[in-house]
Structure 1
Amino acid sequence: MTATKMTAAQVARKVIENKELFIIDVRNQDAFEDWKIEGHNFNYLNVPYFELLDGVEEILPKIPANQDVLVLCAKEGSSVFVANMIAETRQDVYYLEGGMKSWSTYLEPIKVGDLSSGGELYQFVRLGKGCLSYMVISEGEAAIIDAVRFTDVFINFAKEKNVTIKHVFDTHLHADHISGGRQIAELTGATYYLPPKDAEEVTFEFTSLEDNLKVQIGASQLEVGALYSPGHTIGSTSFIVDEKYLLTGDILFIDSIGRPDLAGKAEDWVGDLRETLYKRYRELAKDLIVLPAHFMIIDELNEDGTVAKPLSELFNANHGLNISDEEEFRKTVTEQLPPQPNAYQQIRQVNMGKITPDDEEQTEMEIGPNRCAVR
């Protein structure tokens, strides 16, 4: 009897639908503790692969009899070996196709809601990396915001919806993942926008994402105006979609706020970050639904798998929005920072167009959890 493969898409549905899953992670302990597949009803056993080379007898009593069992490793090979040994004793054993590498790259498109005049807004959830991208659709046209590098996902989704991608935006120059925005624009003929204050070193042409810019998407209006929102980067820009949704980029998350240090400017930008969070955002309508570019923990997902909360709720519950003392705020966002994202300096170089690594190198750069937030 042999184990059955389970795809990243199938695991994603288990996460979103709150299904039970018992995961045997055969990576080394440090890799497991740093980054794992999270689910509300997932249980875990971490046993390094080299400890199972002579057999799995010692771990069999620890495996529940009434749950699907998924064995995973970094790239697949080790998990197949271990899963097949376990499969000799039971039927419901799976290995993750492509390992954590495939989990890092999978995108799940989920409808956030309807817009006026028949438009729709979709969130593309990258569960393995905590990245969130968006597509606004209205009257045969589409705009994409903060696309990750898997351009075919967005282009194919637009084809399925029978819409033309007209505009592609990056809210800022990303440091935690490689943007697919410029490539999507090149492949579709769309206009690519980037904040000019973040783009002083880029090597390619782009359209400036300026304060007060308004772009029409069919009958839906995607507005960038009074929403210049620096702090994570000096050029960070937010979007209001259809006077209903606030896309905050890496400035404001559901359970945390953006970090100002990934371009080496934490002390310089902390004042901008506070002004955006405590002044610019507080002048907006409180019933706007916040849609960030990242999430950190599985608890930030709603029941339908989306990551979204009313701005008013965040003003009450998000600790980063409730630090009254400016000096305490400064210390929080400059002295209590988590580890920086994997290869973030190289990722910034890619997004500037200065280096062009191949797909395998890009995958290695992005491996690991989201680390763009202060929580």
Structure 2
Amino acid sequence: MSLTPMTAQELAKKVIEKENLFILDVRNEAAFEDWKVEGAHFEYLNIPYFDLLDGVEDILAQLPTDKEILVVCAKENSSIMIGEMLADVGVNASYLSGGMKAWSEHLEPIKVADLDNGGELYQFVRLGKGCLSYMVISGRDAVVIDSARMTEPYLTLAKEKGVSITHVLDTHLHADHISGGRTIAEQTGAHYWLPAKDAEYVTFSYKPIEDGAQIQVGASQIEIQALYTPGHTIGSTSFIVDDAYLLTGDILFIDSIGRPDLAGKAEDWVADLRHSLYQIYKDISADLLVLPAHFMLVDELNEDGSVAKKLGVLLKKNHGLNVDDEQTFRSMVTDHLPPQPNAYQDIRQTNLGKKDPSKEEQREMEIGPNRCAVR
């Protein structure tokens, strides 16, 4: 038997197509419980690699003979070692190339829609982190929204489509991942936009997103007027694309709502959060397709791998949008918050331009799942 690598892109295909896969995760138990490769039809066995140093014979009975086996670790070295031990005893397996670090960084571009006048809307699904970002293409122009720090996928798609990235926007100052917005702007000459109320302490130049602003992208238009939606941050802003698509940032997700505490302002911002969800969103068209900046569970993926649902559906089914009593809502939001994102204060400082961590430090800062939602 031989050991073969499986790339993050190949693994993403298995997640999206809901294939069967057996994962032998050889990280320690705490790391596995905190964060793992999620798949609708995946099975798991978590045995730390140091428990297998004397041989894998004791776990052979727990491994399937009718499913593909993938060995996973943090960076790949341990999974290669265990995978080779499995091959030596006749078990066919693959290892995740680059480990969980590579899985965390993979972006899968998925076309969401054709826009008016020949435009296109793409969603970049970061399966390993639960982050979602977007590219709107119209004419020879493109705008990127809520970019991850891995900028190459956006540049590659723009090149494939023969368009220039002219604007880069963030819906808010992110705390769970490092924004690639400024980097893309530097690489392409695009304008970088950030909500002004989130940018009070930034150390770099930017274009402020204010109420009433409209950004023209080829033949499509992103309208910001009347969609200032604070609550996750004080500056959180939603974008409507082509009067049909609502990019909600971290205010509204498919199965949950945004948390208001990542700047230490839970009690202050919960009222803003409720107003954004219960006033602003309920006053706009229920036919808008909600495109959030995060997802929590692989179950939220549509058949094509995208994460999207009509606002009208969420108004009926999303629990966070159906709490009539204001005090009950306040208690739900502030009393049951999940743990803070990994290194979120350092990430905020980096997004403000106050820290300049190395590439490896950035990777370490982002390790783990996103935790931007109220549970």
TM-score, normalization: structure 1?
Answer: 0.99
- Look up the match of 2:116: 116
Q: CA deviation at 1:85?
A: 1.0
- Look up the match of 2:184: 184
Partners of 1:185 and 1:47 lie apart in 2 by 44
Q: Please list, as runs of the form range in 1=range in 2, the aligned pairs for 1:11-50 lying within 5 A after superposition.
A: 11-50=11-50
- Look up the match of 1:279: 279
Aligned-partner SS, 2:296: coil
Q: Please list, as runs of the form range in 1=range in 2, the aligned pairs for 1:288-299 lying within 5 A after superposition.
A: 288-299=288-299
Partners of 1:156 and 1:315 lie apart in 2 by 36
Partners of 2:61 and 2:287 lie apart in 1 by 51
- Look up the match of 1:256: 256
Instruction: Please tell me whether the aligned partners of residues 147 and 180 of structure 2 are also in contact (alpha carbons under 8 angstroms).
Output: yes
Q: CA deviation at 1:156?
A: 1.6
Q: CA deviation at 1:152?
A: 1.6
- Look up the match of 1:212: 212
Partner deviation per Cα, 1:323-357 (whole Å, 9 max, x = no partner): 11101111111110000100000000000000100
- 2:121 aligned with 1:133: no
- Look up the match of 1:365: 365
Q: Please list, as runs of the form range in 1=range in 2, the aligned pairs for 1:44-193 lying within 5 A after superposition.
A: 44-90=44-90, 92-193=92-193
Partners of 1:346 and 1:371 lie apart in 2 by 15
Q: Which amino acid aligns with 1:47?
A: I
Partner deviation per Cα, 1:143-187 (whole Å, 9 max, x = no partner): 110001011221121011100101100000000000000110111
Partner deviation per Cα, 1:297-327 (whole Å, 9 max, x = no partner): 1111111100000000001110000011101
Q: What is the total number of aligned residue pairs between the two structures?
A: 375
Where does the alignment leave 5 or more consecutive residues of structure 1 unmatched? none
Moved more, 85-94 or 239-248: 85-94
Instruction: Please tell me whether the aligned partners of residues 248 and 292 of structure 2 are also in contact (alpha carbons under 8 angstroms).
Output: yes
RMSD, aligned CA: 0.8
Aligned-partner SS, 2:58: coil
- 2:224 aligned with 1:224: yes
Aligned identity (percent) is: 66
Q: Which runs of 4+ in 1 moved over 4 A?
A: none
Aligned-partner SS, 1:129: coil
- Look up the match of 1:347: 347
Partner deviation per Cα, 1:4-62 (whole Å, 9 max, x = no partner): 00001000000001111000000111110100000001000000111100111111111
- Look up the match of 2:247: 247
Q: CA deviation at 1:88?
A: 2.4
Moved more, 39-48 or 91-100: 91-100
Q: Which amino acid aligns with 1:282?
A: K
Partners of 1:101 and 1:182 lie apart in 2 by 23
Instruction: Please tell me whether the aligned partners of residues 2 and 92 of structure 2 are also in contact (alpha carbons under 8 angstroms).
Output: no
Partners of 1:141 and 1:29 lie apart in 2 by 47
Partners of 1:186 and 1:246 lie apart in 2 by 27
- Look up the match of 2:233: 233
- 2:11 aligned with 1:8: no
Partners of 2:77 and 2:96 lie apart in 1 by 10
Q: Which amino acid aligns with 1:305?
A: G
Moved more, 217-226 or 282-291: 217-226
Q: CA deviation at 1:292?
A: 0.1
Aligned-partner SS, 2:133: strand
Call closer, same or farther: CA 1:57–1:91 in 2, change over 3 Å: closer
Q: CA deviation at 1:216?
A: 1.1
Q: Please list, as runs of the form range in 1=range in 2, the aligned pairs for 1:259-338 lying within 5 A after superposition.
A: 259-338=259-338
Q: CA deviation at 1:80?
A: 0.4
Partners of 1:213 and 1:201 lie apart in 2 by 21
Instruction: Please tell me whether the aligned partners of residues 86 and 92 of structure 2 are also in contact (alpha carbons under 8 angstroms).
Output: no
TM-score, normalization: structure 2?
Answer: 0.99
Partners of 1:224 and 1:82 lie apart in 2 by 52
Partners of 2:93 and 2:337 lie apart in 1 by 39
Q: Which amino acid aligns with 1:197?
A: K
Aligned-partner SS, 1:363: helix
Partners of 1:363 and 1:373 lie apart in 2 by 22
Instruction: Please tell me whether the aligned partners of residues 215 and 223 of structure 2 are also in contact (alpha carbons under 8 angstroms).
Output: yes
Partner deviation per Cα, 1:242-297 (whole Å, 9 max, x = no partner): 01100000000000000000001001100000000000000010010000000001
Partners of 1:156 and 1:14 lie apart in 2 by 23
Partners of 1:248 and 1:48 lie apart in 2 by 39
Q: Which amino acid aligns with 2:13?
A: R
Where does the alignment leave 5 or more consecutive residues of structure 2 unmatched? none
Q: CA deviation at 1:223?
A: 1.0
Q: Which amino acid aligns with 1:372?
A: C
Partners of 2:234 and 2:356 lie apart in 1 by 24
Instruction: Please tell me whether the aligned partners of residues 256 and 374 of structure 2 are also in contact (alpha carbons under 8 angstroms).
Output: yes
Q: Which amino acid aligns with 2:243?
A: E
Q: Which amino acid aligns with 2:336?
A: Q
Q: CA deviation at 1:91?
A: 5.6
Partners of 1:26 and 1:187 lie apart in 2 by 38
